[in-house]
Amino acid sequence: MAAYIIRRIGQMALTLFVISILTFVISALSPLDPFAAQLDPKKTPTDLERQRDQEGFDDPIAAKYVLFYKRFFIDLGAVISGRADHTWQLTSLKTRAPVLPTMWGKMLVSLPLFIVTTIVVWTMSFPVGIYTALKRNTFQDRLITVASFTLIALPGFWISMEVIRFFTQRGIPILSPGTMGVDLDGAQGFMDMAWHMGVPGIIGAFTGIAILTRYVKGSMVEVMSQDYVRTAKAKGLSPEVVTYKHALRNASLPFVTMIAGLLPGIFGGSVIFESIYNWPGLGRWVFEANLNKDLYVVVTALFVSSALTLLGILISDILYTVADPRVRLA
Amino acid sequence: MAEPATNTRRSSPTRDALRLFFRNKPAVVSLVMISLLVLIALAGEIFTGKPPTPEESEVIRQTQELGDRVRMSRNPRSIVDPLKTELKDKLERPYLQTLAGGIFGGFAEDKPEFIQGVYAENMRLSGAPESEIRKLSDDDIRERRKEGLSADGARAYWLGTDHLGRDVFARLWAGTTISLTVGLLVVGISVLIGISLGGIAGFFGRSRVGLPFLLMVLCGLAALVARAVDAPALVVPLVTVALVCLVLQLFAAVIGREYRAVVFVLGVLLVTGGVQFYVDSVERSTPEGRLLVQSSRAEEQAYQALIETRDLGTEVKKIENKEAGAIGEAERLARHYALEVAYARLEFEHQRFKLTKYRSDRDVALRLCGEEKERGELMKSKGRDAPAAALLAGAEKRRRMLEATEEEIKQRLSEVDKAMDEAVAELEKARVLVSTDTVARLAALREARLKVAQAGLGTTMLVRRDRELEKKFEEDFAKGLAGSTDPADKDRIKAAMGRAGALGRLLAEAEAQADWSPMMKEREEARALVKAVEENDPALLLRSHAWLNLSNAQDKPVRGEVALLQGSNAMLERRAAMRSEYHTTYSTQTRNSREGLLKAELLSGWERYPIYAKLRHFMTPVMLGLLMLVSVLLLAGAAQRAVGESKSILRKVFVPTLTVDDMVMRFTEVMMTIPTLILIIAILALFSRDVYIVMAVLGLTGWMGTTRFVRAEILSLREQDFIQAARALGVSDIRIIWRHLVPNAISPVLVSATLGVASAILLESTLSFLGLGATADQPTWGSILSEGRSYINDAGWLMLIPALAILVTVLSFNLLGEGLREAFNPKLRGR
């Protein structure tokens, strides 16, 4: 097991290295100048020029790559060792805010929404999926199938806009937590967040519900047609026991892998909903950085989320062996 | 089943699948829906677009009569125009809604109570007694609604209009064409890549590639990196190694009689070379192409100049750090001077670029004259003598005028070239001087050289004086060009005349200022001065000392301090100025002209090279690259097999390394790991907004799933008995792939492609909504939706209608895909 994990980590490091080159080159190819996008009237062209020198703007791309990752890992080391007096090396080209602490802060903002969405998805799709699997080829099954396809086909941004209109026309504020510049904390802050999370959490879950329901159904249907289920039924076990004890436990195995795969979803999955609902989280941050050609933020986001994906895959593989004794790691 | 007899008699897997599919009602309905959508999209291709104005139609008719090809940027068959704005009709509500009595939420002014209220109010205002106000009947209400609709003379828009008064119906229709095209092409690209890579990984996966292949790939990549990091010395050896490896593999393949792979590789190389050659030759033989090449080069050189100043700045900083307060005055001056020269160089570059542009504009004007002449002769042959004669005479006159300017431009170009050469030479000298720490020599030289530079800049100033004129000239030309994308000859003639006039005036101006000689003389003098100093003329040295003493009259230590501050600051200031110069002139200018040229809109001359514009499309290198990848992989396999069977010395070189499967799948893994949406957004941030770029990016980032399951499918298929049997029979690989593997593996590809279309359409609309998708003149469903979001409270239909279109389409494709999946999945069959 240990040897396996070490080997996997080695492979992952190699993959991550290739990814780091690929993503950096793609992002650094931009002909546009992030410094020119700074709209600070106090900055003279000379200041910008000095800044360009500091960030190696005119350097060859390989030098930029080395510079970026040197700073990134110095900062990462500081984050891991928890040094408080660290002067951050990696700063956003546009706002000059340190990248890693900002990312952490944004992630803390995104996390609640992400958790709510995930909980909604998983609590909705399992019962519905199992229900449709049991009612296979009936009217209910077809209805739910078509409904879930409709949910997939709904443009999420449009339905969000309509819902926002619905609520705002009735004077119910659902946009942007901590509005009006009120700085809430403690219980109030929590309530404010919880209030604003409901709608984006549910609408953001639509596609997830639809897709996961179909997965659960497929998995259940497959397991229910296995011989051992038939045997269990033939033995005269009650349908509940067969369904929930024999079938469901095996049918939910593939979903163990999915839990860890959710990790990177916190980055990319929320771009649209965070933009629409004015949620100042990770997705919006990365999106705006992209628009501002903020190279360091974009590359950091790509790198970190790729690393999270790889980590997720590793964790899920390990979880799988724990959950399913038939699987051995080699 | 209705026809059991026939079905059981002739039963095949495909037939079974189809039968199963047609039992699935939602899937069949979706199929019908999609067919309808495709028909609508095809019709949209024909019937939407910008219609020509009556005047333009007349021109088109005349030109066609003369036998000329006409470029159709307008669509004469157009019945709806998605781009036409009617501001007076903005946010007009859908007529259908009025007809249907407010199904989509309804409007206050449509509701009976409202109409009743208005009626009552009007009656009261006109002084009618309360008793005369009756309750309106349904017919009355309908009548009043209609009146309200036609009161301001608005025409009926079936689906309303948007905030610019554009017809939503027309936009939706045109959007259907674009959105469906995007969806289908995205899937086309990704399926193509997926099948190629997956097929190779599945079929040839277990074979290992030899060392030469690995070396070739690594050297190729290293050469690319070396070029990117400005290490040109490394590029040549790396490329040589890669080529040697390629030749080695070709050789091995020929020895092993694997001719097919060799032919394939050579064919791909030939096609790539041919494309490159054709593109180059077109660029060399047309003024537009020359301008394109020239502008790219000018931009590159200007950037080099910019980088040079940076290097100088670094040097200055180094000196400053070396000994604070003790900067050699000479060094400082030399560096500043070098900076001046670099700046002058940038200036010259700019001038040269401008002049080249002149020249190419002139060439174009000349060619237009030639075309006019041809047209005149054509008209003559058709018996229209009077206008033909006028046309011919005009063309001839203009041609003569234009040709006269050639000398002028040539002279100026050489002048600028010379000045620039000098500037570059100065730069070199200044660099040398840094090491010789002779203050006097340097000061004298500086003075002398500054004079040279001034003389050179004087030349530039003269050219610059023409700037006003130049601007006017360019404006004229731009106008003319804008006109000439239409087939309107009048515009062309006007533009050509404007150009010719401007050039003529230019000529006159230049003649008036013919006394270049004083400046030249000054230059000669300055050169003599430099020479004298270089030969250590004591008198001059003395003078220089005096000059230097004068400039150093102030307190030295303070100067040292100030210099410390000034050294790199001055550099930075200069560089900032240069950069803004670079950005405002070169970058934008060249980029604009390049984009214009590539879009084949700038000059009507592109219609002569229709293939060129297509080859210059950014998808060409992508597709060629894919072909190259596939062919090289095949060659690697073939070479390895050939060597493995022989016992030649090559065996020692062709050490088996990685498996093909490993390479392909590791790359797929890398692509799958990178979060797609962020990657897409990052790539899209590189380009200007265009829905077809979105399409390409979606295609290039969406192939991994297909690759994986095509590979899995082929891996499982190739172990099956019928493939083994075919092998045993000696059937060739190609035949096995085409006759046995592809038909069996195609159905899951079909399923995933169908689902892929749905997600591509949805993703495109999402990107458009985020503002990364279509341009303003590309009405996709996503962009219509996105434009409507600001008016959601006043004009709900602006979002509702495209959203419904997306919903229906995506749903149809999903249901169809699901139906296909169920029909073709053998596990579900018979249940």
pLDDT above 50 (res A325)? yes
pLDDT above 60 (res B530)? no
Instruction: Say what percent of chain B tops pLDDT 90.
Output: 9
Q: Are B598 and B362 in contact (CB under 8 A)?
A: no
Q: What is the spatial distance between Cα A269 and Cα B678, in angstroms, rounded to a whole number? A: 9
Interface test with A, best of B581, B666, B673 (most A CBs within 10 A): B673
Task: Tell which residue, B608, B611, B503, has the closest CA to residue B286.
Answer: B608
pLDDT category of residue B521 using cuts at 50, 70 and 90: very low
Is 1.10.3720.10 the CATH number for A103-323? yes
Bridge partners for A91 per DSSP: A98
Contact A45 B580 (CB under 8 A): yes
**What angle in degrees, to the nearest 10, is found between the helix axes of B54-65 and B489-512?**
90
**Which of residues 15 through 34 in chain B touch A, CB cutoff 8 A?**
26
Q: How do residues B549-599 score in pLDDT, each as one tens digit?
A: 333 332 233 333 333 344 556 666 766 776 776 666 555 555 555 555 554
Cα torsion B725, B730, B732, B735: sign: negative
N-term to C-term CA, chain A: 8
C-beta neighbour count of B219 within 10 angstroms: 21
C-beta neighbour count of B630 within 10 angstroms: 18
Q: Is B103 on the interface with A (CB under 8 A)?
A: no
Any idea which residue has 């700038």 for tokens? B602
Helix residue spans in B135-286 (DSSP H): 138-150, 168-203, 211-228, 232-255, 259-285
With b for 16 or more beta-carbon neighbours within 10 A and e for fewer, the B794-823 pattern comes to: ebbbbbbbbbbbbbbbbbbbbbbbbbbbbb
Q: How do residues B784-797 score in pLDDT, each as one tens digit?
A: 888 888 888 777 78
Across A159-163, A164-168, B373-377, B708-712, least confident range: B373-377
Q: What is the spatial distance between Cα B425 and Cα B315, in angstroms, rounded to a whole number? A: 19
The torsion angles phi and psi of B80, rounded to 5 degrees, stand at -130, 145
pLDDT of residue B376: 76
Q: What is the spatial distance between Cα B417 and Cα B411, in angstroms, rounded to a whole number? A: 10
pLDDT of residue B98: 65
What integer best gives the mean pLDDT of chain A? Answer: 83
Q: Are B422 and B456 in contact (CB under 8 A)?
A: yes
In sequence order, the 6+-apart residues with CB closer than 8 A to the CB of A294 are: A34, A92, A93, A94, A95, A288
Which of the two residues, B452 and B190, has the higher pLDDT score? Answer: B190
In sequence order, the 6+-apart residues with CB closer than 8 A to the CB of B353 are: B294, B295, B298, B302, B585, B586, B589
Structure pTM?
0.74
Indicate the helix (H) or strand (E) that contains A18. helix A2-28
Helix then strand then coil, in percent of chain A rounded to 5, is 75, 0, 25
Any idea which residue has 């001046």 for tokens? B340
Contact B682 A290 (CB under 8 A): yes
Q: What is the spatial distance between Cα B187 and Cα B392, in angstroms, rounded to a whole number? A: 53
Neighboring chain A residues of B806 at a CB cutoff of 8 Å: 153, 155, 158
pLDDT category of residue B803 using cuts at 50, 70 and 90: very high
Q: What is the spatial distance between Cα A91 and Cα A107, in angstroms, rounded to a whole number? A: 17
pLDDT above 90 (res B108)? no
- Reduced to 3 states (helix: H, G, I; strand: E, B; else coil), residue B167 is strand
Retrieve residue A52's tokens.
């360009």
N-term to C-term CA, chain B: 15
pLDDT above 70 (res A183)? no
Residue A38 CB-half CA count within 13 A: 20
Q: What is the spatial distance between Cα B40 and Cα B76, in angstroms, rounded to a whole number? A: 18
Retrieve residue B248's tokens.
């080695």
pLDDT above 80 (res B278)? yes
Domain ranges of chain A: 2-81, 103-323
Bridge partners for B210 per DSSP: B656
Contact B814 A149 (CB under 8 A): yes
Bridge partners for B208 per DSSP: B659
pLDDT of residue B529: 46
pLDDT of residue B522: 42
Retrieve residue B410's tokens.
């040539």
Tell me how long chain B is.
831
Neighboring chain B residues of A158 at a CB cutoff of 8 Å: 785, 799, 803, 806
- Reduced to 3 states (helix: H, G, I; strand: E, B; else coil), residue B220 is helix
Retrieve residue B321's tokens.
């750090």
Q: What is the spatial distance between Cα B348 and Cα B305, in angstroms, rounded to a whole number? A: 11
Q: How do residues B1-26 score in pLDDT, each as one tens digit?
A: 344 444 444 566 677 778 888 888 88
Tell me how long chain A is.
330
pLDDT of residue B571: 62
**Which of residues 304 through 323 in chain B touch A, CB cutoff 8 A?**
306-307, 310, 313
In sequence order, the 6+-apart residues with CB closer than 8 A to the CB of B130 are: B124
Please provide the DSSP assignment of A114-126 as one string.
HHHHHHHHHHHHH
C-alpha dist (Å) from residue B327 to B321, B335, B557: 9, 12, 11
Contact A26 B679 (CB under 8 A): yes
Residue A22 CB-half CA count within 13 A: 20
Q: What is the spatial distance between Cα A120 and Cα A115, in angstroms, rounded to a whole number? A: 8
* Mean pLDDT, range A280-304, rounded to an integer: 87
Q: What is the spatial distance between Cα B814 and Cα B183, in angstroms, rounded to a whole number? A: 13
Q: What is the spatial distance between Cα B645 and Cα A2, in angstroms, rounded to a whole number? A: 41
Cα torsion A67, A73, A75, A77: sign: negative
pLDDT above 60 (res A100)? yes
Retrieve residue A321's tokens.
């062996």
Q: What is the spatial distance between Cα B72 and Cα B726, in angstroms, rounded to a whole number? A: 53
Q: State the nearest Cα–Cα gap between A292 and chain B, in angstroms.
A: 9
Q: Are A99 and A68 in contact (CB under 8 A)?
A: no
Q: What is the spatial distance between Cα B10 and Cα B4, in angstroms, rounded to a whole number? A: 10
Q: Is B572 on the interface with A (CB under 8 A)?
A: yes
Q: What is the spatial distance between Cα B683 and Cα B699, in angstroms, rounded to a whole number? A: 12
pLDDT of residue B437: 42
- Reduced to 3 states (helix: H, G, I; strand: E, B; else coil), residue B226 is helix
Which of the two residues, B221 and B307, has the higher pLDDT score? Answer: B221
* Mean pLDDT, range B732-745, rounded to an integer: 79
Q: What is the spatial distance between Cα A72 and Cα A78, in angstroms, rounded to a whole number? A: 10
Indicate the helix (H) or strand (E) that contains B208. strand B208-210
Residue B691 CB-half CA count within 13 A: 27
Contact A18 B670 (CB under 8 A): yes
Indicate the helix (H) or strand (E) that contains B468. helix B467-484
What integer best gives the mean pLDDT of chain B? Answer: 71
Q: From B575, which residue of chain A is nearest by alpha-carbon distance? A: A49
Contact B770 A275 (CB under 8 A): yes
Across A154-163, A192-201, B501-510, least confident range: B501-510
Burial class (CB in 10 A: 0-12, 13-18, 19+), B290: middle
pLDDT category of residue B647 using cuts at 50, 70 and 90: low
Retrieve residue B274's tokens.
């041919």
Q: Are B811 and A153 in contact (CB under 8 A)?
A: yes
Residue B808 CB-half CA count within 13 A: 16
Indicate the helix (H) or strand (E) that contains B209. strand B208-210
Please work out, in degrees rounded to the nearest 5, the angle formed at the alpha carbon of residue B175 by the alpha carbons of B172 and B176. 90
Q: What is the spatial distance between Cα B464 and Cα B484, in angstroms, rounded to a whole number? A: 29
pLDDT of residue B469: 46
- Reduced to 3 states (helix: H, G, I; strand: E, B; else coil), residue B656 is strand
Retrieve residue A307's tokens.
């690393």
C-alpha dist (Å) from residue B736 to B164, B409, B546, B826: 58, 65, 91, 22
Helix residue spans in A170-263 (DSSP H): 186-224, 227-234, 239-240, 248-251, 253-261
Neighboring chain B residues of A48 at a CB cutoff of 8 Å: 576
Closest by Cβ to B572, choosing from A50, A149, A275: A50
pLDDT of residue B320: 56
Range with the largest mean pLDDT of A203-212, B465-474, B652-661: A203-212
Q: How do residues B30-75 score in pLDDT, each as one tens digit?
A: 999 999 999 999 998 888 877 777 777 776 666 666 555 545 566 7
Bridge partners for B167 per DSSP: B161
Is 0.85 exceeded by the ipTM? yes
Burial class (CB in 10 A: 0-12, 13-18, 19+), B547: middle
**Which of residues 786 through 825 in chain B touch A, CB cutoff 8 A?**
789, 792-793, 796, 799, 803, 806-811, 814-815, 818
Q: Is B657 on the interface with A (CB under 8 A)?
A: no
